[in-house]
Amino acid sequence: MEIRSKLWIEIDGKPVFGRGRRFLLEAIDKYGSINQAAKEINISYRKAWGYIKAMEERLGIKLIERQTGGRHGGGATLTQDARNFLKKYEALEKGIQGLVDERFIQIFNTKEL
Binding site for a second copy (CB under 8 A): 1-11, 16, 61, 81, 84-85, 88, 91-92, 96, 99-100, 103-104, 107-108, 113
Q: Which is nearer to DNA, 13 or 95 (CB)?
A: 13
Side chain identity, residue 43: I
Q: Which is nearer to a second copy, 35 or 79 (CB)?
A: 79
Half-sphere exposure of 17 (CA within 13 A, CB side): 19
Could you give the CA distance from residue 71 to residue 73 in angstroms, rounded to a whole number? 6
Shortest reach from residue 8's CB to DNA, in Å: 12
Q: What are the residues binding DNA (CB under 7 A)?
A: 33-36, 43-47, 49-50, 52-53, 66-76
Shortest reach from residue 103's CB to DNA, in Å: 26
Q: Which is nearer to a second copy, 7 or 41 (CB)?
A: 7
Shortest reach from residue 6's CB to DNA, in Å: 13
Q: Which is nearer to a second copy, 8 or 49 (CB)?
A: 8
Could you give the CA distance from residue 25 to residue 64 in angstroms, rounded to a whole number? 9
Instruction: Please give the C-alpha separations between residue 97 and each of 6, 17, 52, 100, 102, in angstroms, as whole numbers.
Output: 9, 17, 25, 5, 9
Residue 75, Cβ neighbours under 10 Å: how many?
17
